[in-house]
């Protein structure tokens, strides 16, 4: 009788350990899938007077705004919520040269901090003279 109880206890212990391992692996897989689902991408192109400076694919999490994504991926200076310099290319008030940008081909009407990015957005910044 004791042998049967010991074997039954050992069997239950082994089953518990195996069940725990399966839960941990499944939990890790779920975490990895959640991370992959929340990591989104956008393409950011920088130009000056129509000449391309760079184009980069950037990753970001859902709910991120353009200003934060720019600061995480580029050397950015800003003043009052407006970008004044990207990667050392700065605006020039005397020449009326400013950073303007589009999101998916549409001219932005607000500052970069007010733009929430979506997956696969195409953002184009152009340092150009304005009239």
Question: In terms of C-beta density within 10 A (0-12 exposed, 13-18 middle, 19 or more buried), how is residue 32 classed?
Answer: exposed
Domain spans of the chain, in order of start = 39-129
Q: Span 99-119, mean pLDDT? A: 96
Which has more pLDDT, 29 or 52? Answer: 52
- For the chain, the maximum distance between any two Cα atoms, rounded to a whole number of angstroms, is 96
CATH 2.170.130.30 for domain 39-129, yes or no, is yes
Query: pLDDT digits over 62-71, tens only?
Result: 999 999 999 9
User: pTM, whole model, 2 decimals?
Assistant: 0.70
């Amino acid at each position: 009788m004791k042998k049967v109880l010991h074997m039954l206890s050992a069997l239950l212990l082994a089953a518990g350990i195996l069940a725990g391992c399966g839960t941990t692996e499944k939990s890790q897989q779920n975490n990895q899938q959640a991370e992959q689902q929340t990591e989104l991408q956008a393409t950011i192109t920088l130009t000056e007077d129509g000449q391309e400076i760079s184009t980069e694919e950037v990753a970001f999490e859902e709910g991120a705004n353009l200003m934060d994504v720019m600061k995480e991926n580029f050397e950015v200076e800003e003043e009052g919520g407006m970008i004044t310099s990207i990667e050392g290319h700065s605006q020039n008030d005397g020449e009326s040269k400013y950073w303007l940008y589009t999101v998916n081909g549409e001219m932005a009407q607000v500052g970069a901090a007010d733009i929430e990015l979506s997956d696969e957005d195409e953002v184009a910044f152009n340092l150009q003279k304005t009239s």
